[in-house]
Every structure is written in C-alpha cells, then in structure tokens.
Amino acid sequence: MAKKEIIYSDAAETEITDLTICRGLLALWVFAYHVDLHVNFQLGWFNGLLSYGYLGVDGFFILSGLLLAMLHREFENTLRKWPRFIGRRLARIYPVHLAVIVLLAVLAAAGLVAGVKVDDPARFSFVGLLQNLLLMQGWGIGPRWSWNYPSWSVSSEWAGYLAFPVLFFYLSKLENIVVGQYAIVCWPILGLMGYFSGQGLNLAYADALPRFFLEFLWGVCTARMIPLFADELPTRGVAIAGLVFILIGTLIGAGAFALFGLWVVITSLTMNKDARRAPVFNRIGFLRPLGLISYSFYMSFATAELLIAQLFRHLGWHPADEKLVYTLAMIAVTSALAVSLYVLVEKPSRRALDRWMAPKPEPEPVVAPGKGKGKQQLARMKPRKMEVRE
C-alpha cells in the first residue's frame, strides 16, 4: 500500500482534540487510583476500574511514543538534529518538574521551622534530590518514592527521549510488516511481565524501564501503522470497543486485557484524526481544559497528598473515615496547584520554547517590478504538512 502523506491547509487545526481529552482522562484515572489507596472506596464493580488506575501511566507511555513518531519524522534519514530534539524535550518537561521540587523543598523547610514532623524524612534525602534534578530517579538506581514520587514516570520518559532518535532511525529502515510485528509482540510480552511480577503492570522505579520501553516502542510502531488503516476502519466503533475492553479487563481483573483496550482507544482516536473525521469525544469537550493541564495535574497530586495528610493528622482524622472530605480536599488542592503550575510555569515555558524553535523567516527575493509575481503567489498558497501538537 502506498504511503499516505497528510496535507492540511495553513488554516487547518493542528491539535488532536480527542487525544487532549484522552490525556485528561488518563490523568484523572491515575488521580482516582491514588485517592482510593487512602480512602478505600466501596463502589461495587467500579472498584475494579479504580484499582487499575495505574494503567493511566501506561497510556501516557504509549501516547508518548506515538506522538513523537508522528512529530519527528526528521530522524528517518539523519541523527544530526538529535541535540536540538533533546533540548526541546527537556525544555518541555523540566520546568514543571523543577517547580514542584522547589515547592516541596519550601514546604519541607517550612515544616522544620514550624516543628511539624515529616512523615518520611528519607523521602527528602540529598541523594534523592540529585537524582530528581538529573531525572534519573526512575532508573532503579536510587531511593524509592523520593521527593515528588510520581515523577518516576517523567524520568522514564526522559530515558525514552534520549533513545528515541536512534530507535526511530532504526525502525524507519524496516518494512511496514516488520514494524507491525514489533507492535503486535509488545502486548503479550507486557502481559507476561505483569503476570510474573505478581502485581500486574504496577511497576515503578527499578522495574519501570522495561515497562516503559515496551509501551513506548508499541506507540512508535503504531504510528507507522495508522496511515495504512485509518480510512478503512470505523474508528468510532473501534474506540467504543476499546472502552468495552477496558471495562471488562478491570472488572475481571485482567490488566493486560484492559491495557490492550487502552491501546485500541488511543490508536482509533489517532486514526480518526488521520481520516479527517469529527472528534469522537466531542460531547465531552468540556474535559479539554483538563487535558491541557494534565501534565501539571499529574505532577501536583503528590504535593496535595502531603499537605492534606498533615492537615488530617493535625485534626486527628483518617482518610478512610472521612472519604468525602478527603476526596474533595484532594480535588481542590490538586486542581489549584495544577492550574497555578500551568499558568505560571508550563504555559510560559512552552511559549518561550515555541519562540526559540520558530524557524527564522527567509529573506524575500528581490524581484524586478512586474516579474515573478505569479511564482511568489503560488509559493505562498502551497499547503503545508500537518503538525500534531503534543
């Protein structure tokens, strides 16, 4: 099948709205999972969905590989832009990461001054701080749960960013059928990994990198397959089927089955955009803002958890006895921190990055009056390739 090139006009929308909403839902799923660890909701069959909320991180890993493979086709033929790519990725993730570390340091220092006992002093060790600053805390070489513990996944992503150019360069030399086989084999390997771990795919820190790289590779290979099938498949129906797989997998305790459904949903949403169809999640478009702040939201809940735990201890309460209060407090504090990080750190850093990465305008050629105007007008009217926004 011939390779399809996606062409949009200059006015075309570049954001995949469905994936933005999907990121928001994944962040909310992870958040609900961590809240449930403290309050132990008793919600019948819905408990299964909560107990597998850690799979939201797996969704982020798949999405990361998928979007990078769609965005950075320059590595098909050369690795010369590797340093620029690494700089861009670091500028994308590091400002929020650093801001949360600074916030935690301020809170820890304030607690010491006020005589407030910290739950786990080892969490704020100097070694852990160095590893967090170097984004190596998720590589299995340091203390667990140090500083902003959810950032172990960001550390894993950083390892993926370092490897991506070489990985993509290698995959670009292979035939579609070989890349498709790579994509197919990732899922059963992940299933076996989850089975033998004894805790499903809820693997972090020392066990995180195998989990991450398999899902990252799965996403990268999937990006190659999307243009081949997007026009033929009923993407909305496939997305709904993926949601059913997720619900059944979490209900019967089959995490690998739920993970497959998650991949189906992400793939079908991307195919839907590739086929230029209306967004699948257009009826829940109000969740788009959550998708936009999903990274800041994900990076905020551990800080909110720390603050609320101190408050509950001071009041003599236990989260399991005050489920509603704890849940509402977590939602309020995490949302406030996330919006603040997004507005004050993430959004300004993205704008600065866009200015830094903006191509320099080429000088206008000097043309004699009355000559060459037709060619210049045609050049300005030429459509450009679509850019997928992360």
Q: What is the pLDDT of residues 200-257, one digit of tens each?
A: 888 877 778 999 999 999 999 999 999 988 888 888 899 999 999 999 999 998 889 9
pLDDT at 352: 85
- Whether the CB-CB separation of 346 and 95 falls below 8 Å is answered with yes
Task: Give 103's pLDDT tier (boundaries 50, 70, 90).
Answer: very high
Residue 213: Cβ within 10 Å count = 18
Bridge partners (DSSP) of residue 8 are 384
Query: Residues 340-368: what's their mean pLDDT?
Result: 77
> Cα separations (Å) of 43 from 40, 47, 165?
9, 5, 45
pLDDT at 390: 57
CA nearest 317: which of 38, 34, 36, 30?
38
Bridge partners (DSSP) of residue 7 are 385
Compare 95 and 142 and report the one with higher pLDDT. 95
What's the chain's average pLDDT?
A: 85
pLDDT at 260: 95
Confidence check: pLDDT of 7 > 60: no
For 38-77, the pLDDT digits (tens) are 998 887 778 888 999 999 999 999 999 999 999 888 898 8
Alpha-carbon distance of 324 to 320, in angstroms, equals: 9
Task: Give 377's pLDDT tier (boundaries 50, 70, 90).
Answer: very low
- What 3-state DSSP class applies to 253? coil
What proportions of the chain, in percent to the nearest 5, are helix, strand and coil? 70, 0, 30
Give the tokens for residue 236: 């909305």
Alpha-carbon distance of 294 to 193, in angstroms, equals: 28
pLDDT at 369: 56
For 281-336, the pLDDT digits (tens) are 877 878 889 999 999 999 999 999 999 988 998 899 999 889 999 999 999 999 99
> Cα separations (Å) of 259 from 25, 52, 281?
15, 10, 20
Which single residue is written with the structure tokens 């890993």?
61
- Give the burial string for 178-193 (b: 16+ CB within 10 Å, else e): ebbebbeebbeebbeb
- What 3-state DSSP class applies to 384? strand
Angle made by CA atoms 182, 86, 100, in degrees to the nearest 5:
105
CA nearest 300: which of 343, 241, 269, 244?
343
pLDDT at 385: 43
- 385 — phi, psi (to 5°)? -70, 150
- Whether the CB-CB separation of 154 and 148 falls below 8 Å is answered with no
pLDDT at 282: 78
- What 3-state DSSP class applies to 374? helix
Q: What is the DSSP letter of 344?
A: I
CA nearest 386: which of 1, 3, 11?
11
> Cα separations (Å) of 53 from 202, 304, 312?
9, 18, 24
Residue 2: Cβ within 10 Å count = 6
For 157-189, the pLDDT digits (tens) are 999 999 999 999 999 999 999 999 999 999 999
Which single residue is written with the structure tokens 């965005």?
71
pLDDT at 361: 62
CA nearest 287: which of 30, 21, 15?
21
What counts of helices (H) and strands (E) characterise the chain? 16, 2
